Amino acid sequence: MNILIIGTPGVGKTTISIKLSLDFKLNYFNLNTIFYYFNMFSGFDKIRNSRIIKINKNKTLLINFFKKITNSIIDTHIDNIPFSNIDVVFVIRRNPLVLIVQLKKKYKEKRKIIENVESEFINLISDSIHSKFDKRIPVLDVASYKQIYKSLKDIRITKKESTKVIDWIRILSKTNAIDKYYKHINNFK
């Protein structure tokens, strides 16, 4: 079984992926490590203090990588990769109000933090992944390791259907926390 773990930077993908790989005895691949190993960068973004990955020029390498992997967990935040040979996808989600605090500890670049929090807020990666994968491949929006562990056990027994997208706009609106979200973002800018 090959599992894709994807989500906005800072939501806990790597921590969850490593724990899953140990608990289920699966290989672990962080795509960022592969990008570094094969020098798959086209430049450097000074504003965000990050490398720019050249996906199109490395499509063949990525396609071959996905064809060859077995019993693995693939950890990434990049959704425009030519994914194949994936059995289940977990989109890791985190409340944007919690995520902004986490990203302030991780990054110095305000623009990078705001873009990542806004991406999570509007379901950018989740919507993209839900639209990319065939309906036969379960795509589950989850917010905790416990949810993934239970879902993975269920999936091994029966092919579970995809879950509904975690809609932060709706959730934060219901709890009147949407004003708090915008206040955080505006104060941070």
Give the integer Cα–Cα distance in Å for 83 and 65.
10
Q: What is the pLDDT of residue 164?
A: 64
Q: What is the pLDDT of residue 136?
A: 65
Q: What is the pLDDT of residue 158?
A: 47
What is the mean pLDDT, run by run of 10 residues, along the chain of 189 residues? 92 92 92 90 89 86 90 93 88 91 89 93 90 76 80 60 71 78 72
Return the closest-CA partner of residue 83 out of 69, 98, 97, 63: 63
> Which structural domain, as residue segments, surrounds residue 18?
3-188
Q: What CATH number is given to the structural domain containing 68?
A: 3.40.50.300
pTM for the full model?
Answer: 0.85
Strand partners, 189: none
Please state the domain count of the chain. Answer: 1
